[in-house]
């Protein structure tokens, strides 16, 4: 098992890609704390995982990821209960598809608060502990649109470009402390986020994918498992595309 005895925190772990990451981490022997936006959704996800395998060591929490004090209090409690946090996966994210002229300041702020500021908050809350132990893994969730942009919903690609910059910079800063920082950039993946997008946006994109299908959450989760594991011990500052595209 690739993650035996590792303690992982996964934000947005209640559904979609995050849920698949939690599930694959558990299969690989990790203890996992999943974060949901509400206690009920976190509890529902934990119950469904426990139903699948009662031996899995998983609990749910629901701090407000956009508030540093909330995150710090919750993650400190996790570190006290489990002894430490080895792996942080920043996966929670939102998007709004409105065209630029209808895109409000509130939409922009809300997207940046969760997709960027929460990533800072969560990293800030684990890095002291990781530094003191001289090891740790931080994995962020970027997106294919962080390379290409997209035709509407301006804050989302903007936030994911920021996640890439954050990842590369933090990787450089923390590498001498033994902490690896990488990101996974999923392509179009079969989750609620994509089901909410108009077909007119998705279908032309599928035709441009050489593997001719959209990704499944497990396709993405497998990349997180690899980057979280010691198999990736010499990889930091990478944004790994998992999107079915062939690149030259």
Contact 130/177 with Cβ under 8 angstroms? yes
Residues that bind ligand NAD (CB under 6 A): 12, 14-18, 36-37, 41, 65, 91-94, 114, 141, 143-144, 186, 188-189, 191-194
Determine the Cα–Cα distance for residues 167 and 112; give it in Å rounded to an integer.
16
- Please indicate whether residue 156 is annotated as part of the active site: yes
Query: Taking the CA of residue 206 as centre, how many other CA atoms within 13 Å lie in the half-sphere pointing to its CB?
Result: 12
Q: How far is the CB of 177 from ligand NAD (least distance, A)?
A: 26
Which of residues 52 and 230 has its CB atom nearest to ligand NAD in the complex?
52
Instruction: Identify which of residues 65 and 162 has a Cβ nearer to ligand NAD in the complex.
Output: 65
Torsion sign (Cα): 196, 197, 200, 205: negative
19, 103, 120, 156: the catalytic one is 156
Residues shown for the chain: 248
In contact, 85 and 9? CB cutoff 8 Å = yes
- CB 118 to ligand NAD: min, Å: 7
- Both tokens of 235, joined, read 């990889």
Provide the minimum distance between the beta carbon of 183 and ligand NAD in the complex, in angstroms, as a whole number.
Answer: 10
The tokens describing 223, both together, are: 């990349």
Return the number of the residue (16 or 136) whose C-beta is nearest ligand NAD. 16
Give the active site residues: 156
């Amino acid at each position: 098992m690739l993650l035996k005895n590792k303690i992982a925190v996964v934000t947005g772990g209640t559904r979609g890609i995050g849920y698949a990451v939690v599930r694959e981490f558990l299969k690989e022997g990790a203890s996992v704390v999943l974060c949901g936006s509400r206690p009920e959704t976190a509890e529902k996800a934990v119950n469904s995982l426990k139903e699948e395998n009662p031996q899995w060591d998983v609990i749910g929490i629901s701090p407000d990821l956009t508030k540093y004090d909330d995150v710090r209090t919750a993650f400190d409690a996790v570190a006290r209960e489990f002894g430490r946090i080895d792996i942080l996966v920043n996966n929670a994210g939102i998007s709004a598809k409105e065209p630029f002229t209808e895109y409000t300041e509130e939409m922009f702020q809300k997207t940046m608060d969760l997709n960027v500021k929460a990533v800072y908050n969560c990293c800030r809350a684990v890095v002291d502990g990781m530094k003191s132990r001289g090891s740790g893994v931080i994995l962020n969730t970027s997106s294919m649109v962080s390379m290409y942009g997209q035709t509407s919903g301006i804050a989302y690609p903007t936030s994911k470009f920021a996640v890439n910059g954050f990842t590369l910079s933090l990787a450089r800063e923390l590498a001498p402390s033994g902490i690896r920082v990488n990101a996974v950039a999923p392509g179009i993946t079969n989750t609620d986020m994509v089901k909410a997008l108009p077909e007119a946006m998705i279908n032309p994109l599928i035709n441009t994918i050489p593997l001719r299908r959209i990704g499944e959450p497990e396709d993405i989760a497998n990349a997180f498992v690899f980057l979280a594991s010691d198999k990736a011990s010499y990889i930091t500052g990478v944004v790994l595309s998992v999107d079915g595209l062939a690149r030259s």
